Structure 1
């Protein structure tokens, strides 16, 4: 299962490099089901893996001229605030056992996986659904961009997911960016959010296996390089629906497995 996990880790980077999102959606299931990492710890590991991989991808997109720094910062700053509130204040206060119904116990780890699977299903719908063409406006709505940034930070903080499926539509419709620039800018935002979230976890004493993390990150890094190069030749938006169907099946599988097995 570990070898399968390392192979699957390449797909994390491949997805991030090619379509600017989706990689973090795969990271938690890979860590939990293939490497048997505790779900709560997996959210911390996911932040590191996705953050490091996204930094590499955003640098590659910067060299290709696909980064809009101002839009990225307007989005990322409120995201950072909500991430730190969730991970350093709210998350540690959630009890390991939430409640019991008859003989069925709802734990913190179960809550993480169920909420994450719902996120996967929502993300898959976003990927599958064909986006309407953008209006002809050229002005960036920085207020709405910042609000969405705060919301994405909540998702990232609770689940360790980068939120690329939310970031890219925001950049397309509120920052008025072309698809390739939205992908590159999304990677920069994801890297900022994820690394700061992980740094916060280290600060509060979360136990980290750095050797394991670096190994997974190297595999994801290889996938990122491949995905970034492929993005020059392949339109990632055309591959997104196919990836969306895969994420949908995975989300349903997690719900069934966690609730009934």
Structure 2
């Protein structure tokens, strides 16, 4: 199968997940870029940020039109993560490639387990509105985005539900604002890892991801969120296991 076809298929899946779940798509983008399209781990995380920025912005527009975005709270949450995202992004080129892959696999496994756990997205009845916790969660999310090239929606959505007390639809929509801001901040400091990227692969990947994000938004309105999360969690756990196996062998 040609690289173009693989990029188109992978992009559609990433966009679908991001539009439906408010996150998680980038965790599939990185392994797809490494194992299907031959990118190095550092280049894959940079390309993933480009894909996620464009796709999250598209999905954000769709959710914003539907009234699912809390703009003020989301902007404040995102602001806490911008500096950590930029700092971590600048450090990526200095880290061993195997370490990046192992760290990414561990985060993917954590995300999968959160999605598979009953009540994994958080219980709105147990939320606490604490500015310090919100700032800490935003900063941690930004660092994760900058280092591993993941949007972090799988952490942003539960944080917005449990820390700020958002309903699930508002958390999904608002997480896309956070993802867009953090991804863009990280990209600004990743100059050395953008050289030599294969735009003939990235461009179609981005295009189908953006289209998939619209379909994901429609899918989220028809299928229960818990079903979507568990299906995606199983796929993600398998991907994490394969990546860890690759690092260890």
Is the structural similarity TM-score above 0.5? Answer: yes
Equivalent position of 2:20 in the other structure: 18
For residues 7 and 183 of structure 2, what CA distance do their matches in structure 1 show? 21
**Following TM superposition, by how much is the alpha carbon of 1:242 offset from its aligned partner in structure 2, in angstroms?**
1.6
Q: Residue 43 of structure 1 contacts residue 161 of structure 1 at CA under 8 Å; is this kept in 2? A: yes
Distance in 2 between the 1:170 and 1:41 partners? 29
Q: Which residue of 2 aligns with 1:119?
A: 107
Q: How many residues align?
A: 244
Q: Is residue 159 of structure 2 the alignment partner of residue 170 of structure 1?
A: yes
Aligned to 1:91: 92
- 2:85, 2:112 → 1: CA distance? 23
Deviates more, 1:234-243 or 1:217-226: 234-243
Query: Where in structure 2 are the equivalents of 1:227-246 lying within 5 Å?
Result: 227-246=216-235
Deviation at 1:211, TM superposition (A): 4.1
Distance in 1 of aligned mates of 2:193 and 2:226: 40
Asked which structure has the greater CA Rg, the reply is 1
The structure carrying a bigger helix percent of its residues is: 2
Quote the residue 2:83 is aligned against. Answer: 81
Scaled by the length of structure 1, the TM-score of the pair is 0.88
Superposition deviation, residue 80 in structure 1: 0.8
Pairwise CA distance, 1:200: 2.3
Q: Which residue among 106, 116, 121 is the counterpart of 1:128?
A: 116
Aligned mates of 1:239, 1:245 — CA distance in 2:
10
**Which stretch of the first structure deviates more once superposed, 167-176 or 207-216?**
207-216
Structure 2, gaps ≥5 residues long = none
* Alpha-carbon offset, residue 118 of structure 1: 0.6
1:95-116 deviation digits (Å, cap 9, x = unpaired) = xxxxxxxxxxxxx111111111
Provide, for residues 162-195 of structure 1, a one-character-per-residue CA deviation record: whole Å limited to 9, x for no partner: 1111100110011111111100001111111112
Q: Distance in 2 between matches of 1:205 and 1:112?
A: 14
Query: Which structure 1 residue ranges, 5 or more long, are not aligned?
Result: 95-107
Aligned residue number for residue 64 of structure 2: 62
Which position in structure 1 is the counterpart of 2:247? 258
CA contact (8 A) 1:71 1:142 kept: no
The CA deviation at 1:136 is: 6.6
Secondary structure at the counterpart of residue 177 of structure 1? coil
SS in structure 2 at match of 1:54:
helix
CA–CA distance in structure 2, aligned partners of residues 256 and 191 of structure 1: 31
TM superposition shift of 1:21: 1.2
